[in-house]
Amino acid sequence: MHIDIISIQPGLLESPFQHSIMKRASDKGLLSIAIHDLRPFGLGKYKQIDDYQYGGGAGMVMMCEPLSNCIESLQQEKKYDEVIYMTPDGGTLNQSMANQLSLSQSLLIICGHYKGIDQRIRDMYVTKEISIGDYVLSGGELAAAVLVDSIGRLLPGVLNDGSSALSDSFQDNLLAPPVYTRPAEFKGAKVPDILLSGHEAKIDAWRYEQSIERTKRLRPDLLGE
Ligand code: ADE
């Protein structure tokens, strides 16, 4: 999969993809990410990219021309499955959205700043608007990093244990069961006997029960309750 990201703060996106699972994904050639600085597409001597909003009101708006020129120059090179705009008024990111996007070949993500981008860019180019939660960040970069991480770890071959993404919380709309590692007893607290029993079917059943119990207690909304 290839992901292009348009940003006015490219430095904010450098670190998240250079560590851990995202780094492994790119080292293995399973995911390539290119960050494109919008500034060189800015207008005039000062490479302007934002302007006051029509109708008045506080906050600047990212202008049409720089974004349009940047998007179109990328579209000349690639056909995108989705052109995504990170915005607090988009649909809230969830596991099924990440699963679906992980099937794409190529994505373009636009990070907004200030009051956001001119509506005409949304109307003309954007095919999907995504929020990472009901709060406002100072820009779309951190949201884009969250989105790319949630997608990248699902690509076949990225995680060492191929089945591990499937047992995450939210796959099947259930929270994951509790997990334990050595030692079997820590400060008097013991690992549940069933996990030491070696009985695979009983362990699976116990994990499923725990998932249901946790989901009912902590996130009943996931069960439609
Ligand atoms: N940009 C600013 N806030 C955001 C949010 N909550 N989700 C996605 N993009 C954003």
Helix/strand/coil percent split, the chain, to 5:
40, 20, 40
Tokens of 75: 């579209």
Kindly report the protein residue whose alpha carbon is nearest to atom 4 of ligand 1: 88
DSSP 113-173: BTT-B-HHHHHHH-SEEEESSSS--SBSHHHHHHHHHHHHTTSTTSSSSTTGGGGSTTGGG
As a whole number of angstroms, the distance between CA 134 and CA 138 comes to: 13
Fold (CATH) for 169-223:
Trp Operon Repressor; Chain A (1.10.1270)
C-beta of 7 in contact with ligand 1 (< 6 A): no
Is any ligand 1 atom within 6 A of the Cβ of residue 140? Answer: yes
- 87 CA: nearest ligand 1 atom: 9
**Does residue 87 line the site of ligand 1, with CB under 6 A?**
yes
108-141, pLDDT tens digit by residue? 999 999 899 999 999 999 999 999 999 999 999 9
What's the burial of 184, exposed, middle or buried (CB within 10 Å: 0-12/13-18/19+)?
A: exposed
Within a 10 A sphere around the Cβ of 125, how many other Cβ atoms?
A: 18
Q: Is the CB of 135 under 6 A from ligand 1?
A: yes
State residue 52's pLDDT score.
97
CATH of 2-152, one of 3.40.1280.10, 3.40.1010.20, 3.10.20.600, 3.40.50.150: 3.40.1280.10
User: Average pLDDT of the chain?
Assistant: 96
Q: What's the pLDDT score for residue 116?
A: 96
Verdict on whether the full-model pTM lies above 0.75: yes
Indicate if the pLDDT at residue 208 is higher than 70.
yes
Classify 2 as helix, strand or coil. Answer: strand
Q: Which residues in the chain are classed under CATH 3.40.1280.10?
A: 2-152
Query: Per-residue pLDDT tens for 38-75?
Result: 999 999 999 999 999 999 999 999 999 999 999 999 99
pLDDT band at 162 (very low <50, low <70, confident <90, very high): low
Is it the case that residue 82 has pLDDT exceeding 90? yes
Residue 166 pLDDT grade (very low, low, confident, very high; cuts 50, 70, 90):
confident
* 137 CB near ligand 1 (under 6 Å): yes
Residues sharing a CB contact under 8 Å with residue 102, sequence separation 6 or more, in sequence order = 1, 151, 154, 155
